[in-house]
Structure 1
């Protein structure tokens, strides 16, 4: 009887955690979802990836409005492997795997009218969580800060043209 209770508790925990992650993804603003989707697309292109991954949770996120419908997005989040094979179309029945490390991702990109711009090229850095060091975190932030300031639009707008 106790074994049956433990089995139901374990299965319930797996299903709830997957459902909570889907709910967390559903609560993201549309511009952040686009970055997560891009990350999942790039991750699934790797031949070594065998399982379907789902958004697990956000660590931090920010958006800087530069005016004229231009927004710079930064999103640091975790992806977690499921027991479903890569390419699964409907992940609602996919439970999380707890025997592999999560994927720690940071992405930054520029949007114009809610669409990810090709230039500057979106920056994506995803590593297994144990591989993320303080140096990696600093490098990510520096790269994303350069992306936001490389636009040049504010300099153009600040010009008075008198010299």
Structure 2
């Protein structure tokens, strides 16, 4: 299993950052480099516990789909999305939030497993972990920019 953990400091109230983090439209904006679109389930607005979304985006030259569900949500503190269908063996993304003195700390913990045994592990080591890290960093920079503008 591979784990990516990122911490982003955002000068905005926790409610704004939390809601922007679960906003389907904002995710599509932040994932424009991969032409990622919500194609089924919740396709616009804020996603909530128990709701599902299917994404389609271009990664490594291929259009791939990824269906996930929000399995846990503690408003303004924590939510988790987990893959139901897709190209990973497992995929779990935890989103944690904490506000101190008007600054929200957002922590992403992404845990995933690749299929295809040794080939999958090698692909992860050579390409996938870096790709997903850049994807999340780009997403977080846009969340930061939009959230700090909204304050």
Higher helix fraction: Structure 1 or Structure 2? 1
Same fold (TM over 0.5): no
Which of 1 and 2 has higher RCO (CA within 8 Å, sep 6+)? 2
Larger Cα-atom Rg: 1
How does the TM-score come out when normalised to structure 2?
0.30
**TM-score scaled by length of structure 1:** 0.28
